[in-house]
Structures are given as structure tokens and as C-alpha cells.
Amino acid sequence: MQRLWKAAVWAVAVMLWLSSAALAQSPGSQTLETIRLSEVVRSVFYAPQYVALALGFFEEEGLSVELSTAWGADKGAAALLSGSVDIGFFGPEAAVYVYQQGADDPVVGFAQLTARDGSFLMARHPGDTFDWSELRGKTVVGARRGGVPQMVLEYVLRKHGIEPFKDVEIITHLAFEAAPGAFASGLGDYIAQFDPTLTSLERQGVGKVVASLGREAGEIAYTVYHARRSFLDARPETVLAFTRAIYKGQKWVDLHTAAEIAEVVKGFFPEMDDETLVTALERYKSQDSWRHTPIISRSAFQRLLDVMIQAGELAEPVPFDAIMTNRFALAVAEE
């Protein structure tokens, strides 16, 4: 009897050990690596990222993402340089500025999410048709000087024969998130801003969207994921896993409608109604706003440099390979 009891206890012990071992090896029980990610702003424009977060694509790659919002590329780059975040999502112009300062450990872009500017132009008193010449002598609520949204606005104005700050007044001192409220309160004749902000203002009767800066400016390296060079060198598998999750988000967005995307990402925009969210997503999707792979376009990067030079923020081009790398995106795209 005693031998039977010992055998039973041994059998139970073995079963418990096997169960715990199997549980430890299951994908869902793996310890996830934490990545601190800073996004430049919270916007529907970055839908593929929110899809990747909401659908667990990062967890599938063994990562747990702590997301914060910097509210500015300059602030995002500062957070990255200080070591308070691991990855910064912002415009490559910030990487250019850091490079120009001769940083010992520069920030390097490794995955591109957006393919063009995400701003639209709203008119307070729109006519039946729109022509860019209507901006002469008017006031536009723009963005921060030296930032990509503001430089693209200036680039598009020059494209239409309008000299910024001479033929048209541009307000550049407002914080990005404060500008729409100022416009709604009566400041300016036009505003250049991301959606869904402008869709919300349209529904409030403040004005009407009359043009897309993304369409006007063409493809540009607009928002890119960056890390310090030392991070890329020390943790290449982590960067590959992160890039792979972003690519999954890009592919998912390619294959689904604006309404389907809205259903997935609405948790990131709790104060936004479904109709506004779907309208904004449809605007971005219809103009091919998102890259289809995380590979950074060299021609789009060159256009960014051209925009910066025209804006007087850059004296001469910066080599692509000095602050951008496609080794992770190419590896993921080829898998």
C-alpha cells in the first residue's frame, strides 16, 4: 500500500513538472521584452502603428511596447538622446539636426511608416472651388518653424508661386495641439493640420478642407522610427522584431477598409465618434498615405532634404547612410 501511495505521489509530481515545463515554453507565457516608444503626436495618420499595437503584433514578436506621446519631433528626439525612450517615431528632420550637431551617438532611422505629409488645408470661408492664389494676403495657422509640417507647407506654397511670410502670413508659434482650438476661436483664414482634427472642425461648421498637402508635395520621408546607433548595434534582434510588427500593421491596413481599421484603432481615440474616425481614415487611405513596407525610400528622403534646403533649414544635403539604414527593413521585407 505504501509503495502504491509513493508511486501515485511520484506520478502526480511528474505530471505537474511536465505541465509547468510546457506552460513555460508556450508562446503566451514568454517574458516580453519592454520597448519604450515615443510617438511625435497622437494621430489617425499613424493608423498602422495602432493596428500593430491593438492586434498584438508586437507581443507576437516578443515585445511589450510602452507608448508615450512627445508632441513634437524636437521633444521626441530629445527623449531619445536622453535615454528616456528606446525608439522615437518622428520626422527625419530631427535626425538631420542631431547629425549636424556632431552627436557621438546619433539617432538613425530604421523603418518608415508614412509616405507623404499628413496635413490638409482648411479654409474658414471656402468658395465653390479652390485655388492656391487665394492665400495671397491671408493668414495661415501653420506649425513649428523647422518641423516637417511647416516646411512642407512652405514648399507647397512656393510650388504655387506664393512666397511664405511675404505673400502670406503664417503663424508658427502655436503648439501643434493648440493650433486647431485657436483657429476655431477665429484666428487665421486657413489652417494646415492633421486629420481627424479638421474633420471635427468641418462637422462643427468652422471651415472646409480644400486641399491635401500630402498630394501636393508628393512622396516624402515624413515619419520614421529612430533609435540611437548604439541601440541598433547592441540589440539588432529587438529592432528586427519591432520592424516586423510594424510591417504586419502596414500589411493589415493595406488589406482592410477604413471602417475596419477604425474598429481596431478606436481605443486610441476614445473621444472621437466613429463617423469622424472613418472619414479621417478614408482620407488618408485614399491618398496612399502609408508605406507598404518599412523600407525607407531614398528618393523620398532626398525630397525631404530639398524641402529643408528650400526652407533655409539645411545648407547642403546629408548622406542617406549617415542617418538612415534599411538593413532591418530589407531583412523583414524579404522574409
Q: What is the CATH number of the domain that holds 233?
A: 3.40.190.10
| Structural domain for 250, as ranges | 32-116+220-333
pLDDT of residue 246: 98
| Cβ 142 vs Cβ 266: under 8 Å | no
DSSP 8-state symbol, 55 = T
Print the SS3 string covering the chain: CHHHHHHHHHHHHHHHHHHHHHHHHCHHHCCCEEEEEEECCCCHHHHHHHHHHHCCHHHHCCEEEEEEECCCHHHHHHHHHHCCCCEEEECCHHHHHHHHCCCCCCEEEEEECECCCCEEEEECCCCCCCCHHHHCCCEEECCCCCCHHHHHHHHHHHHCCCCECCCEEEECCCCCCCHHHHHHCCCCCEEEEECCHHHHHHHCCCCEEEEEHHHHHCCCCCCEEEEEHHHHHHCHHHHHHHHHHHHHHHHHHHCCCHHHHHHHHHHHCCCCCHHHHHHHHHHHHHCCCECCCCCCCHHHHHHHHHHHHHCCCCCCCCCHHHHECCHHHHHHHCC
The pTM (predicted TM-score) of the whole model is 0.86
**Residue 10: is its pLDDT beyond 70?**
no
24 — pLDDT class (breaks 50, 70, 90): very low
43-51: average pLDDT: 96
Report if residue 308 sits inside a domain: yes
Report if residue 211 sits inside a domain: yes
Q: Are residues 149 and 103 in the same domain?
A: no
**Residue 236: is its pLDDT beyond 50?**
yes
Q: Percent of the chain at pLDDT above 70?
A: 91
Report if residue 316 sits inside a domain: yes
Report if residue 1 sits inside a domain: no
pLDDT of residue 103: 82
- Higher pLDDT: 42 or 176? It is 42
124-148: average pLDDT: 95
Answer with the one of 151, 185, 217 that is the final residue of a domain: 217
284-308: average pLDDT: 96
72 — pLDDT class (breaks 50, 70, 90): confident
**Amino acid identity at 105:** D
156 — pLDDT class (breaks 50, 70, 90): very high
Answer with the one of 217, 244, 264 that is the final residue of a domain: 217
Q: Are residues 231 and 329 in the same domain?
A: yes
Number of domains present in the structure of the chain: 2
| Cβ 122 vs Cβ 210: under 8 Å | yes
pLDDT of residue 20: 39
DSSP 3-state assignment of 273? coil
Q: Are residues 84 and 231 in the same domain?
A: yes
Q: What is d(CA 78, CA 88) in angstroms, rounded to the nearest whole number?
A: 9
259 Cβ contact list (under 8 Å, min separation 6)? 278
Average pLDDT, the chain: 91
Q: Percent of the chain at pLDDT above 90?
A: 84
Q: Are residues 136 and 205 in the same domain?
A: yes
Answer with the one of 196, 217, 238 that is the final residue of a domain: 217
Q: Cell 503663424 identifies what position?
A: 171
Q: Are residues 111 and 161 in the same domain?
A: no
Q: Are residues 322 and 231 in the same domain?
A: yes
Report if residue 303 sits inside a domain: yes
Q: Are residues 272 and 200 in the same domain?
A: no
Report if residue 16 sits inside a domain: no
6-28: average pLDDT: 39
Q: Are residues 247 and 111 in the same domain?
A: yes
Q: Are residues 164 and 181 in the same domain?
A: yes
Q: Are residues 162 and 244 in the same domain?
A: no
pLDDT of residue 320: 96
Q: Are residues 76 and 134 in the same domain?
A: no
**Residue 229: is its pLDDT beyond 80?**
yes
Q: Are residues 124 and 191 in the same domain?
A: yes
Report if residue 7 sits inside a domain: no
Report if residue 10 sits inside a domain: no
Residue 250 to residues 218, 246, 255, 291, 295, Cα–Cα distance (Å): 20, 6, 9, 7, 11
